[in-house]
Structure 1
Amino acid sequence: MSAIGPEPDHSDSAIGASAQRKAALRLLPVIGIGYGLAYVDRINISFAALQMNRDLQFSASVYGFGAGLFFIGYALCEVPSNLLLLRFGARRWLARIMFTWGLLAAAMMFVRTPLAFNTLRLLLGMAEAGFYPGVVYYLTLWFPARMRARAVSRFYVALPLSSVVMGSMAGWLLGLGGKLGLSGWQWLFLVEGLPTAVFSLVILKLLPDNPAQAQWLTTDEKAWLDRQLKADGERAHLGHSAGVTQALLSPKVWMIGAYFLCALTANYAYGFSAPAILQVATGWSVTNVGFLVACFGLAGAAGMLLNSAHSDRSGERALHCIIPCVVMAAGYLTASYAKEPWLVVVALAAGFISFMSMLGPANAVPMQFLAGRAAAAGLAAMNTITMFSGFIGPYWMGRTRDLTGNYELGLRGLVVPSLGAALVMFLLTRNLARFKGTATDAALANEPA
């Protein structure tokens, strides 16, 4: 040993970097494509409605109610689905989810009545239940806590990018009306639904259930991941020793669920009516509105990646969520009063980009206090609470549109959940800071003198 001490050993950090790089390259593109297909099949009725509501004589309230029923089915099956993922393994269960929801999404082309519309939307939600929390839980098996905002954003970026695909294709698909006796909205459901069912085979082939089954990781890389994830679990408020019941009853789980409930209520209320709102504001064709939505998607993807990377580097989560929520509120309020088309577009773009930018940091927050089996149950419970947003938001916009003849009141109402989300995140992160401080004090008190 030299007088100045041993040379630093960088081999462990090199092994860790290699393990993370391999996991990111092998897993995140596959998961991202899967989630992008899910989002397209969930929200493509926003474009289909431009023709479908007229052809089937659906009112805005009928449409909003049916659009929201998806999330009721999702919420009812969320926790059972995630527990079944633990039993059957992520690979098999995520593939099953994709296959069934892809077939049901394509089956939307057969809708003729409000009853059929409502039934298929409910079944579609039940089929997709568990995919998102299952994926987030799956990522906790591969990425340490300090990396998770970036990991989540790199698959979640498929959400705004799916808006690019959907917006770019919507005009063309709706323009296929009359071919083979199908309406344009029927072509939209068919062409965007079947690829999801096919992609389930890719999920089944390429996703290992956990690092131990990954043949592309070395023994040292698997051991590094195991050490890192065990350390995260020991620091978590609800770690590997916590049971499902503890996670389901945790006030922190309910608080993060309330945060997403508020934020997503605002986003889904806007998202399911976005093509109609933008068409009214601009007077543009469906094709041009689709390209505008695609531009929003590209900007949202950039905002998500940048804000998530900054949140991971700084280690700060709260402000990276709270500030976007305040901007969302300002955007919706401005759009509701603005008379100039350009100002409506800019305000709605600001709201959409802000929502997308906070998703990475916000999804990293529950990983500060959940690990292991408690994470699977806690994430499912969180998402169950969240999913009611998808019913509340679209139904709110549909009812206010029918009552007032425009979307102005609906947009103004979105200020409340946007600011509510900011408040909940502020309270939750203060609570987590107190818990962290208490845990640190306890650890110091137990150290030998």
Structure 2
Amino acid sequence: MIARTNMRYMIIAMLFLGWSLGNFDRFIINYAILGISEDLQLSATSTGIVLSSFFAGYALMQIPGGWLADKFGFRKVLIIAVLMWSIFTVLTGTAWSLLSLIFIRFFFGLGEGSYFPAASKGIANWFPLNERSKAMSIMLSSAGVMGVITPIFGTLLMQSIGWRMIFFIVGGLGLIITALFFYFLHEPNNEKSEKVKEKNHAASPLRNVLKTPMIWNLFIAYFSIYAVHWGLSSWMPTYLSNVKGLDLTSVGMISAIPAFVAILTTLVSGYVLDRLPEGKDKLLAAIFGLMTAIALYLMAFAPTIAMFVVYQSIVTILLSFNIILITSVPLKILSEEIVGTANGFINTSGQLAGMLTPMIIGFLVDFFGGSYNAAFIMLICFALLCSIALFLIRPKTQLVQAQTNSVN
């Protein structure tokens, strides 16, 4: 039998691998959409709808995915999630019209939607409290890794083999990863986990989650963070191409810089958060929300591409800390029996933001004749909302209630 410590390494390696694939799948569409829009003759509004359709399905599966992981275990849910989204990755390469693309991307989102809450459940099952932020940061650092790889290699591949072939190849890789999950992912085999599984049949985890005031603060803050994150991620390639006049290769290289910064920042954030006292972490995150708003303003009016990248990198650093904070808090304040549902609920807000923000930005760009100023103002407002939600958290009272609700 593999030692539990060694199995933790295996679990986090598998979660990192799977989430790397998921992030590449989500990021590549932001570059492929340039070719897709040209082939299918999509307007900015239609492009925004395509980018948002994934998040509609993704958001719908957050709470059900977390509940399924709490009830049946994270392993089964993760295997089905990777298999399903890999199939729809392949189908993305067959899209022939706007409606077909919207349909395929929606079901792609449904497939991927249960991964994050189920992975959160896996981290809570396998890692002690004082290592869960670090474990979460390792898994989520895959976003930074893919943020570097995708713009560089994705844009090169798009120019050499075309956007359709990219999705065919990535879908095939997903099927391979599904097989790896089947053989290498395991549920913890101990008396505590068996008792939790038995209790889950009678428990109502979502009700306990919804009764916790701190979770609602985190829900609002996460929505705001991801409105900024996906607003930038989904539209920066188009913005840099159309407004700044950069070619596709330059767009890819520039987009990789903030993502590279995010890798180290994400890992450091997990390490720091496991050592910060309760309450201080959320206060620091609230201050970072204010700093994000300032950096976005400077980014919008940056006089040069170099300064634009500097400000975008600062935004990335601040967002990375807050994302790790919000996603690891439930793993520390709630019992293992409901963490999948809790993070599924919180992550729903982020995916709702991912669904709405690209569409709204597309509408604003069309409405203001190609100007992105209104879009930046909207993102600044979301950064301020994130800060307010985190400032309003009262750790002492809300933590007690959260712990009480989790064991009822």
- Is the 2:205–2:338 contact (alpha carbons within 8 Å) kept by the matching residues of 1? yes
Cα deviation for residue 30 of structure 1 reads 1.2
3-state DSSP class of the match of 1:111?
Answer: coil
Q: Is 1:379 matched up with 2:363?
A: no
Give the corresponding residue for 1:411.
376
- Structure 1: how far apart are the matches of 2:109 and 2:398? 36
What is the number of equivalent residue pairs in this alignment? 394
Give me the whole-angstrom Cα distance separating, in 1, the residues matched to 2:36 and 2:312: 25
Give the Cα–Cα distance (whole angstroms) in 1 for the partners of residues 67 and 272 of structure 2: 33
Alignment of 1:173-188 (within 5 A): 173-177=157-161, 184-188=162-166
Partner of 2:10: 26
Paired residues of 2:70 and 2:341 also in contact (CA < 8 A): no
Give structure 2 stretches of 5+ with no counterpart: 404-408
Which range moves more in the overlay, 184-193 or 48-57?
Answer: 184-193
Measure, in 2, the Cα distance between the counterparts of 1:436 and 1:41. Answer: 36
Cα deviation for residue 211 of structure 1 reads: 4.4
CA deviation vs aligned residue, 1:168-199 (integer Å, no higher than 9, x gap): 2122211125xxxxxx1212222233212220
Calculate the aligned-residue CA RMSD, in Å.
2.6
Residue equivalent to 1:329: 293
Cα deviation, 1:244-277, whole Å, max 9, x if unaligned, reads 2422422333322111111101111111112122
Q: Give 1:138's match in structure 2, choosing from 122, 135, 143.
A: 122
Q: Distance in 1 between matches of 2:52 and 2:98?
A: 13
Distance change >3 Å, CA 83–CA 310, structure 1 → 2: closer
Q: 2:268 aligned with 1:312, yes or no?
A: no
What code does the residue aligned with 1:391 have? M
Q: Decide whether aligned partners of structure 1 residues 369 and 95 sit closer, same or farther in structure 2, where only a CA change above 3 A counts.
A: same
Q: Matches of 1:424 and 1:436 in 2, distance apart?
A: 16
Counterpart position of 1:191: 169
Which stretch of structure 1 is more off in the superposition, 397-406 or 359-368? 359-368
User: TM-score, with normalisation over the residues of structure 2?
Assistant: 0.89
Which one of the candidate residues 354, 362, 368 is aligned to 1:398?
362
Match of 1:76 among 60, 63, 66: 60
Q: What is the DSSP-based 3-state SS (H/G/I as helix, E as strand, rest coil) of the residue aligned with 1:406?
A: coil
- TM-score, L = length of structure 1: 0.81
Superposed CA offset, 1:61-105 (max 9, x none): 111112112111122232222333344432222011101101101
Larger Rg: 1
2:392 aligns to what? 427
- The 5 Å alignment of 1:8-407 reads 19=4, 21-177=5-161, 184-212=162-190, 243-250=204-211, 251-280=213-242, 282-315=244-277, 316-404=280-368, 405-407=370-372
Letter in 2 for 1:140: A
Per the alignment, residue 236 of structure 1 pairs with none
1:365-422 deviation line (CA, Å, top 9, x unaligned):
2234321322222222222233211111111211111122132221221011111111
Q: Cα–Cα, structure 1 residues 194 and 407, in superposed 2: closer, same or farther, change >3 Å? A: farther
Q: Quick one: which amino acid aligns to residue 396 of structure 2?
A: A
The question of whether the paired residues in 1 share the 8 Å contact of 2:27 and 2:147 is answered with: no
> How far does the alpha carbon of each residue in 1:93-136 deviate from its partner, in whole angstroms, 9 at most, with x for none?
20111011011012111112111111111111111121101101
Contact 1:269/1:396, CA 8 A, preserved across alignment:
no
Which whole-Å CA distance do the structure 2 matches of 1:321 and 1:344 have between them?
23
Alpha-carbon shift at residue 139 of structure 1 (Å): 0.6
For 2:32 and 2:401, the matched residues in 1 are separated by: 53
Rounded Cα–Cα distance in structure 1 between residues aligned with 2:202 and 2:286: 32
Q: Which amino acid aligns with 2:187?
A: D
2:406 corresponds in structure 1 to none
For structure 1, the 5+ residue unaligned runs are: 1-17, 178-183, 213-222, 234-238, 441-449
The 2-side partners of 1:159 and 1:383 are apart by 15
User: In structure 2, how many angstroms separate the alpha carbons of the residues matched to 1:140 and 1:240?
Assistant: 19
Note closer, same or farther for the CA distance 1:323–1:304 as it changes in structure 2 (3 Å cut).
farther
Please state whether the residue corresponding to 1:331 is helix, strand or coil: helix
